[in-house]
Structure 1
Amino acid sequence: MNHTQISPTALAQWCDTYLQASEFSDYCPNGLQVDTDTPIENIITGVTASQNLIDAAIEANADAILVHHGYFWKGEPSPLTGMKGKRIRSLMQNNISLLAYHLPLDAHPIIGNNAILAEQLDLEITGALYPHEKHPVGNIAKCDPITIQDFITKVSDKLQRIPTHISAGNDVITRVGICTGGAQDMIEQAAAMDCQLYISGEISERTTHAARELGIDYLACGHHATEKGGIQALGDLIEQSLGLSVRFIDDPNPA
């Protein structure tokens, strides 16, 4: 099957527009991060631009990698040496461009990580975790009354991993705070918004005490596991809209 081709900059412009990337203040550059100036026909998507994903993209003869977690994070060393140098070298030497979208992909109301996770868990998003945000990176959702144990079973089934549960005694839930990835510290805001349960990806030592003392149950469902949905949905949309070949490759991560 022959697919169309597009330049790296044109693909980035399409994604930038759809995700409204310019409206976000982020911890990394969103969009085209490594430009090999090679026409793109075959795209590999993944959660993180790890060396494993790059190697898989090379094996698949991909022209581009599209991820949620790319490179050039605030505060990281600038030199392209060591692990970082190898990754960039692997991309450049194999003519593979890299595009990455962080907060814009978390927040998108249709294909964002929060939106997809809510859909998977039969949650209906009703508002923002922080009401003042124009593009909320955390949400509040409602659900039909369900016991916490039945909800944990649903999470385990949909995400194929058993979440870490910190109980605060909420046996039945109807109002849930949700923010994928490493957003465990938003638990205080979820409690302030009268949620009985807060869902995120990671857990810190302090999260346990916060949940118990704030009276809100917490589920750490996995950073990687909660952020697979958005990039897959974006890849599907690109394939449908632009006629490119897109394939998701999972590089499993227990975190």
Structure 2
Amino acid sequence: MTSLLVDDKDGVRTLTLNRPHKRNALDAELWAALGGALAEAGEDRGVRALVITGAGGAFCSGAEVPVTVSSAHPLYRMRVLTDVALLLHDLPVPTVAKVTGVAVGAGWNLALGCDLVVATPEASFSQIFARRGLSPDLGGSWLLPRLVGLQQAKRLALLAETIDAEEARALGLVTWVVDAGEVDAFTDDVTARLAAGPPVALAQTKSLLNEAGSLREALANEARAQAVNFASADVPEAYAAFREKRAPRFTGDWTPATRSEST
């Protein structure tokens, strides 16, 4: 059985963690497949949005503890997780986590690493690491305080409580809570809107928000991003569509300024 399913439709690539018998726990094979799929998506201009979800009514129950202990130092083994977290963070297209069922430990942080999170009311979440004698990984120590503030991040990480979808939404850890019978259609609508957006501008926007530091740094980064955007065919297309009262057709193509020279 393939541990990661990949599906493309209308510019949206869906990655489905496919180990339902293990509630989609991430083993070595799935880590490698996920890292490869994210790298490929980042290089494919046909991908305009990406969804990560899980099969069989669960999102992901975290990283699977191997039966046999590897002789490799844990720092080397952790590089696999680090690579996946950075690939997801740096992916130039918008990402959506569709969470049904449990999202635990690294599984929850995988969802938090996405730009948007849609969950069903049955979803549950836990930073379970402390119960296992561990500390957060897959970016959780950076993501949590950024999303909920330091005190709530400490509560979730230190007590390792399990929270439901509504509490997660109230804390800002879930973007939408949608009934199970409607979640697929809802996610399809969101990703269709993202896929129809201007790819260069969305990539610049995502990077600006992810990397925001001081106001001075943000202003300098915004200026550089707008320079990139103005070199895109999407800007004149947006203005033309506004004038012509139609939907814009964004491509992300580059349109360098032309120069006429006299002879």
The TM-score normalised by the length of structure 1 is 0.23
Q: Which has the larger radius of gyration?
A: 2
Greater fraction helix: 2
The TM-score normalised by the length of structure 2 is 0.23
